[in-house]
A and B are shown apart, each in its own frame.
Chain A
Amino acid sequence: KQEVTQIPAALSVPEGENLVLNCSFTDSAIYNLQWFRQDPGKGLTSLLLIQSSQREQTSGRLNASLDKSSGRSTLYIAASQPGDSATYLCAVKEDVAGGTSYGKLTFGQGTILTVHP
Chain B
Amino acid sequence: EAQVTQNPRYLITVTGKKLTVTCSQNMNHEYMSWYRQDPGLGLRQIYYSMNVEVTDKGDVPEGYKVSRKEKRNFPLILESPSPNQTSLYFCASSGRPVSLYGYTFGSGTRLTVV
B102–A32 contact, CB under 8 A? yes
B104: contacting residue among A46, A91, A93, A103, CB under 8 A:
A46
Which residues of A are found within 8 Å of B90, using beta-carbon distances? 43-44
A42: contacting residue among B48, B56, B102, B107, CB under 8 A:
B107
Per the bound structure, the CA–CA distance linking A86 and B94 in Å amounts to: 24
Segment of A13-21, A65-73, A76-84, A106-114 in the binding face? A106-114
How many residues in B have their beta carbons less than 8 Å from beta carbons of A? 27
Which residues of A are found within 8 Å of B56, using beta-carbon distances? 100, 102
How many residues in A have their beta carbons less than 8 Å from beta carbons of B? 26
Query: A49 and B102 in contact (CB under 8 A), knowing A41-B110, A102-B50?
Result: yes
Per the bound structure, the CA–CA distance linking A105 and B17 in Å amounts to: 30
Which residues of B are found within 8 Å of A105, using beta-carbon distances? 33, 35, 43, 45, 92, 103
Which residues of B are found within 8 Å of A45, using beta-carbon distances? 105
Interface membership of B99, Cβ < 8 A? yes
Give me 8 A-to-B residue pairs in the complex whose CB atoms sit less than 8 angstroms apart, sorted by A's number. A31-B98, A41-B108, A43-B107, A51-B100, A93-B103, A96-B98, A102-B50, A109-B40
Chain A residues with a Cβ under 8 A of chain B:
31-32, 34, 36, 41-46, 49, 51, 89, 91, 93, 95-96, 100, 102-105, 107-110
Closest 3 pairs (CB-CB, A-B): A103-B98, A49-B102, A43-B107
